[in-house]
Amino acid sequence: MEIFEECGVINDLLQVGNETEARNRLIRLLDQHCKEGIAYSSLLNHLIRELGLFPYLDPETSSWQDRFVFESFKVDIGQEIPVTLHREQSLVLKHLLDGNNLAISAPTSFGKSLIIDAYIAIKKPKNVLILVPTIALTDETRRRLSKKFSNEYKVVTTSDVQLDEKNILIFPQERAIQYCDKIKGLDLLVVDEFYKASQDFDKERSPALLKAMMKLGAKATQKYYLAPNISNLNDNPFTKDMLFLRLDFNTVFLEKHEMYKETNKDAQRKNDALLQILGKQDRKSLIYAGTYSNVDSVGTLLIENTKREPSDLLSAFSAWLSTNYHPNWKLTALVKRGIGFHTGQLHRSLSQIQVRLFEENKGGLQTLISTSSIIEGVNTSAENVIVWSNKNGKLKLNDFTYRNIIGRGGRMFKHFVGNIYILEEPPSPTDTQLELTFPDELLADVDDDQYKKELTKEQLVKILKYKEDMAQILGQASFDRLRNEGALISGDTELIAAIAQAIISDKKTWRGLASLNASSNEYWSWILHKVIKLVPAGWDTTYTKFSEFVRAMSSNWSHSIPEILDQLSEQDVTIEEFFKMERNASFKLTALLNDVNVIQKQIVPEHKIDIAPFIARLSKAFLPSCVMELEEYGLPRMLAKKIHASGLINFENEKLDLHSAISVLREMQPTIIQKVEGLDSFDKYVLDYFFDGIALQEPRIAAAT
């Protein structure tokens, strides 16, 4: 009778047009059915249909009309069995199949990515490019699409790959820019998390993302931009002629526990509340800590107050971390307690391994402590989301980011209800207006004639001065050629002008760049110091410490990470700093050196210096090219070293590219564990994960829909 009465309440809400509340109550009712093992009645199925949640229908207990809907909304998504879309997913897919350009805002649980899979399976485009915010999400997307479409498409995630007739390209924005000139045309450009193009939400990444959207958008027949929690989209050149759809359609319910009212800003009460939440239930939990220092603090708290007998798998993981990274690293102690952490600075493979362990039903990680990387780097979720901090770095959380974080609670068919524990006061609810404008850091790439109306007067003056200064220094013809070729990575007019001015005012000193091509790293420090000082803010470390780190990093292939840390003992480099500086060296320093190299070749061609070989090695963190790329695919460098030492693959062969290496690894998979010496149990677990991600799709038998 209680269930029947609740169905009546839901029906009444539907009759008065309150669909959101009706859907929330229905999802909670479905959760009750799931936990108590209650079969769905025909009435419940009818309400599911009325609220558009078609995937939740049970065909066995539905009326023929509801079963018809369940079958009618099935689509091919590239796998053996078609799946049923919910009402709003079907609407978005119809718009795409009709050829419309779409910018959509929908909740995290909406299933936006599934629509991409359906589009590819049905429309069979030649070239699709998907822009994702992080390399971690690049690998996750690659794994999903490779399993479905690898027998028909070449799935490309790295630079310098020869394209086939049909391609799915998956890149973060910086890598996509490098491909702009290689791609003649795109059938579909997808931009995931396109809100990051606004400086209000990602000041560091927005210039590169806008540049990629601008250049690739011009080559795309159709565009599909995805974001959560956007209320309005301003008129702008980046989403011009796109249909904006705001879809507030949730497929899970978020049960909020406002515990900050009880803790009342008392640190000890907050600690006790966290321990109580984690101790009273055996459920997967994501802890949003907000900052790197908070991740460390929460980690310390849990080490001191959590006791748990580790599984064999987690004991092996802890020992593996101790051997390959650092024995005193906090993570080695945490994982024994079923706890991991996720930040944007970790090695890609290490983040991927922890997410894989978090997804394990038995023996894996129970809890993940995270910065905002968990909402932008991977598509994972949990039954519990604990908002430990209301900060995002140094700033307070805004409502947009807060809703993204709590949106990680719950998952279709797994957790109808996500429990949200809020330990610090959340931001006030607000509508989010997304403003996309040209930032100053992009001005060097902007055609001021084409976008005159969208630029401010101050920006137009900056561009004019930049053109005049650079034409005077380089010569008009040389400057025009560099712009047309896109030879300069930075779009920051002030930085490029500063590089040119520094070189022309001291030509003799800049001959020292040649030392970077020397076989010895003995004389690198002073010239690296000079290059890094071109960036006034630096990269959160001293110039000397960073220069010495780059020198030590040059032995990445021949030495282990613990050995490199020993080399840097005088600089007191921690394992956390190692991750951060390696990332800055292989991305930010590489980009800076590229622009220095291009400009110095124009200003002082008589020096005949070209540090492109050094830049190429630095961009791979001084690892063999495909070793760095394989690490993004889930094969850590330490395992690549063991495979290389066995003689099975010569990773130092410069002709060995990523796809050739993957082909060889696939062939040797059945025997690799027997032939590679020194593999421990966790090495074998990681290899299993890696091979799962490069498995070829089995030929599909056409399924009736």
C-alpha span between 512 and 593 (Å, rounded): 13
Per-residue confidence (pLDDT) for residue 159, from 0 to 100: 75
Of residues 300 and 408, the one with the higher pLDDT is 300
Topology given in CATH for the domain delimited by 253-433: Rossmann fold (3.40.50)
The SS3 assignment for 617 reads helix
Whose tokens are 């149990």? That residue is: 681
The SS3 assignment for 152 reads coil
Per-residue confidence (pLDDT) for residue 699, from 0 to 100: 55
Mean per-residue pLDDT for 323-333?
Answer: 94
Range in 223-227, 336-340, 351-355, 611-615 the model is least confident about: 351-355
Residue 232 bridge partners (DSSP):
433
Per-residue confidence (pLDDT) for residue 704, from 0 to 100: 36
The SS3 assignment for 256 reads strand
Per-residue confidence (pLDDT) for residue 102, from 0 to 100: 96
Whether 559 shows a pLDDT value over 70: the answer reads yes
Per-residue confidence (pLDDT) for residue 244, from 0 to 100: 95
Phi, then psi, of 443 in degrees rounded to 5: -60, -30
Q: State the alpha helices, DSSP H only, in 236-392.
A: 260-263, 267-279, 292-305, 312-324, 330-335, 348-359, 373-376
Mean per-residue pLDDT for 109-136?
Answer: 91
Report in angstroms the alpha-carbon separations of 198 from 188, 520, 537.
22, 43, 22
- Which CATH number is associated with domain 83-246? 3.40.50.300
**And the tokens for 561?**
């990470």
Mean per-residue pLDDT for 33-45?
Answer: 93
Whether 577 shows a pLDDT value over 60: the answer reads yes
- 193 near 407, Cβ under 8 Å? no
Whether 451 shows a pLDDT value over 90: the answer reads no
pLDDT digits (tens, 9 = 90+) for 491-515: 888 889 899 999 999 999 999 999 9
Mean per-residue pLDDT for 5-22?
Answer: 94
- 129 near 163, Cβ under 8 Å? no
Phi, then psi, of 433 in degrees rounded to 5: -95, 120
Whether 377 shows a pLDDT value over 80: the answer reads no
C-alpha span between 148 and 696 (Å, rounded): 9
Per-residue confidence (pLDDT) for residue 701, from 0 to 100: 47
Mean per-residue pLDDT over the chain, rounded:
90
Per-residue confidence (pLDDT) for residue 554, from 0 to 100: 94
Report in angstroms the alpha-carbon separations of 13 from 24, 50, 261.
11, 12, 31
Per-residue confidence (pLDDT) for residue 561, from 0 to 100: 96
Domain boundaries, the chain: 2-72, 83-246, 253-433, 439-503, 506-622, 625-694
pLDDT digits (tens, 9 = 90+) for 236-287: 889 988 999 999 899 999 999 999 999 988 999 999 999 999 987 678 899 9
189 contacts: CB under 8 Å, gap ≥ 6 = 128, 129, 131, 213, 216, 217, 219, 220, 222, 223, 224
Whether 664 shows a pLDDT value over 90: the answer reads yes
Whether 702 shows a pLDDT value over 60: the answer reads no
pTM: 0.90
Q: State the alpha helices, DSSP H only, in 377-447.
A: 399-406
Kindly indicate the confidence band of residue 44, based on its pLDDT and cuts at 50, 70 and 90: very high
pLDDT digits (tens, 9 = 90+) for 187-220: 999 999 999 999 888 888 888 899 999 989 999 9
Mean per-residue pLDDT for 623-635?
Answer: 91
Whether 376 shows a pLDDT value over 70: the answer reads no
The SS3 assignment for 648 reads coil
Whether 180 shows a pLDDT value over 90: the answer reads no
Percent share of the chain, pLDDT over 70: 97
C-alpha span between 273 and 261 (Å, rounded): 12
Kindly indicate the confidence band of residue 705, based on its pLDDT and cuts at 50, 70 and 90: very low
Per-residue confidence (pLDDT) for residue 480, from 0 to 100: 86
CA dihedral 594, 600, 606, 610 (to 10 degrees): -10
Per-residue confidence (pLDDT) for residue 1, from 0 to 100: 53
Whose tokens are 């220092």? That residue is: 293
CA 561 and chain centroid, separation: 24
Mean per-residue pLDDT for 426-451?
Answer: 87
Amino acid at the residue 663 = S
